[in-house]
Chain A
């Protein structure tokens, strides 16, 4: 029973018509129950301002806040055969896919992009937990291979944000085969001498953890993310005992030597820039805010003007 949701919210709603106040204006923190104003939550990178709980982020939200000026180019992913096994449980797999596509507006559970972070060129891949629990099937495998191939071609590091309930059961054995397939992608990066950094977000479980998510040069996790092979419920049923507090959470894995760092989302971008620049042998990042893209364009204009002899003052370090 939460007094905010049960008392305050109906009252606020009653002040306006339902039409004017979309349901998603407020989000309730699933950890502490605080009602968070949608815009403020987005500005805070979907982290609860009260308890610091890290809520899920879609790949587009992630990329918009990761890349300089929110600018990135999507890398095309070869489409696999749809419904390769003609799988049917209580629903047909194509129907489940359509529902997920409609709900998310995305084609599949992973997005690949290229762009710059702190003026450092990278390729990034991000798994979408809101799309069928981010599950790994042929498309996700193809996406990771496409990301690795693009990174090798452009000689850029690959940063991968993982989030998945595990394998896409509706693709049966072919979902399992993404474990070796994505490992081939990791091998391509390794051979090309390019950094592969994994950011494990809540939750990363099953076959995803047992392949590309645990093969990074560096493993960073978001606070309190569940990261495991077998889920806590399966383990409790097997060993018939209660698991300790925080079991399989990011901090627990850090204590057990499975991660390099646990970093809050607000610091993540800065961390990634620092790490990637060191691994790529680049100069330290220039401190301070980068100009928004509009300013970069006008800067170029000014440079062009300067070249024609007109006076212009440009601070190259800004």
Chain B
């Protein structure tokens, strides 16, 4: 069953009609509807093509948050072997909003870290909708320490609405944990390759995305604030999220122009949620390519290159 987004309404009507015709044919063997149904299919495919060719920034936010989009664990399952999850911050707790551990990518030992949103009510609550607490960032710091000591590249998968705004999270140093995680990213003597697979929500995303190479899926977003949050502050009206999404320049396409990301990973027609395997395979190819670009760089060069990239970042604005 497909979950249709509001801008996909014209599509749902046609796909619904095609499905109805086929159901009728199944009930009545005499009827031959395949020709008509196939025509509807073609029409639906055209609509889907058109819709996704020119998604508005707000529509992209909705696609990036689509519940059926592949999440961190789907990528880890498909792209890595011998995944061995490691838990805990050795201080307070294990935060399930952040998953990570040892794994092999194309046989090479790596450390993988990501935000996990969950895929049904139970797992969404378990993973706190991908909103990490300080323990999640401190777990990530531990895993980066491990990667650095044993010379394993780090691969991070970013998908979070933001860091969790809770009482305990604040008391236990949410800001400090995020700051230290960002700092650890910058200190890594091994490549850190990062992909924004859905939502790159503010500081909670920066903590893992301060990478040597950063890619974004075609319809993912990366922003300083959610469009709703921005609208309620600057427009004093949360309903102005369309305008805010437009103004924030949070799409992969704009961020590539700004030099904030290094590459855009194409999504299958109609978004990653319509062909999860294809989306995951594209991400795998991009990770391989980004790691390849850094082959043979020594530790000092890895640190210096990453630093320079951030010092230069934004120097030209959108006019670049």
Interface residues of A (CB under 8 A from B): 80-81, 83-90, 138, 141, 145, 167, 169-177, 179-181, 183-184, 186-187, 206-207, 209-215, 227-230, 234-235, 238-239, 241, 243, 247-248, 256-258
> Which of A179, A212, A239, A257 is close to B166, meaning CB atoms less than 8 Å apart?
A239
Whether A215 lies near B185 (C-beta < 8 A) is no
A212 vs B175: C-alpha distance in the bound complex, in angstroms?
10
Indicate which residue in A172, A212, A239 contacts B247 across the interface (CB closer than 8 Å): A172
Residue B27 lies at the interface, judged by CB distance under 8 Å to chain A = no
Whether A80 contacts B315 by the Cβ 8 Å rule is yes
State A185–B311 Cα separation when bound (angstroms).
9
Of the candidate stretches B58-66, B72-80, B113-121, B230-238, the one touching chain A is: B230-238
Given contacts A172-B250, A211-B182, A214-B175, A90 and B317 within 8 Å (CB-CB)? no
Residues of B within 8 A of A169 (CB): 224-225, 230, 233-234, 248
Shortest Cβ gap from A135 to chain B (Å):
10
Q: Bound state CA distance, A256 and B173, in angstroms? A: 8
Q: Could you pull out 21 A-B pairs where Cβ atoms are within 8 angstroms?
A: A80-B315, A84-B317, A141-B314, A167-B225, A172-B250, A173-B222, A173-B248, A174-B313, A175-B224, A177-B314, A179-B206, A180-B185, A183-B179, A184-B311, A187-B307, A207-B202, A210-B178, A214-B180, A215-B183, A230-B166, A243-B167
Question: Chain B residues near A212 (CB, 8 Å)?
Answer: 179
CA distance A291 to B210 in the complex (A): 48
- Smallest CB separation, B189 vs chain A (Å): 13
Residues of B within 8 A of A229 (CB): 163, 165, 169-170, 174-175, 178, 203
> Which residues of chain A are near B81, meaning CB under 8 Å?
none
Please, which residues of chain A bring their CB within 8 A of the CB of B248?
A: 85, 169, 172-173
Assess whether A187 is in contact with B223, with CB atoms less than 8 Å apart.
no
Contact assessment for A145 and B166 in the assembled complex, using a CB-CB cutoff below 8 Å: no
Per the 8 Å Cβ criterion, residues 148-170 of B in contact with A are 163, 165-167, 169-170
Q: Which residues of A contact B179 (CB under 8 A)?
A: 179, 183, 209-215
Known: A169-B234, A214-B176, A256-B172. A181 touches B313 (CB 8 A): yes
- In the complex, whether B318 has a CB less than 8 A from a CB of chain A is yes
- B224, B244, B314, B316: most-surrounded residue (chain A CB, <10 A): B224
Inter-chain contacts of A89 with B (CB < 8 A): 234-235, 243-244, 247
A164, chain B: closest CB distance, angstroms: 12
Cα separation A172 to B248 with both chains bound (whole Å): 5
Q: Is B253 in contact with chain A by the CB < 8 A criterion?
A: no
Contact residues in B for A138 (Cβ distance below 8 Å): 314
Q: Name the residue in A80, A179, A180 with the highest tally of chain B Cβ atoms < 10 Å from its Cβ.
A: A180
Tell whether, in the assembled complex, residue A207 and residue B170 are in contact, meaning their CB atoms are under 8 Å apart: no
What A residues does B206 contact at CB under 8 A?
Answer: 176, 179-180, 210
- Near A by CB (< 8 A), chain B positions 225-279 give 225, 230, 233-235, 243-244, 247-250, 255, 258, 260
In the bound complex, CA of A238 to CA of B133 (Å): 14
Instruction: Indicate if B171 sits at the interface (CB-CB under 8 A).
Output: yes
- How long is the Cα–Cα vector from A176 to B249 in the complex, in angstroms? 12
Shortest beta-carbon distance from A265 to chain B in Å: 23
Partner of A173, one of B244, B258, B315: B258
- Whether A248 contacts B165 by the Cβ 8 Å rule is no
Which of A145, A235, A241 has a CB less than 8 Å from the CB of B165? Answer: A235
Contact between B203 and A210, CB atoms less than 8 A apart: yes
Report Cα–Cα, A141/B313, bound state, in Å.
Answer: 11
16 more A-B residue pairs beyond the given contacts A90-B235, A179-B179, A230-B174, with a C-beta to C-beta distance below 8 A: A80-B317, A84-B314, A89-B243, A172-B250, A174-B260, A176-B203, A176-B224, A179-B206, A181-B311, A183-B210, A211-B203, A213-B175, A215-B183, A234-B165, A235-B166, A258-B176
- CB-contacts of B168-212 with A (<8 A): 169-176, 178-180, 182-183, 185-187, 202-203, 206, 210
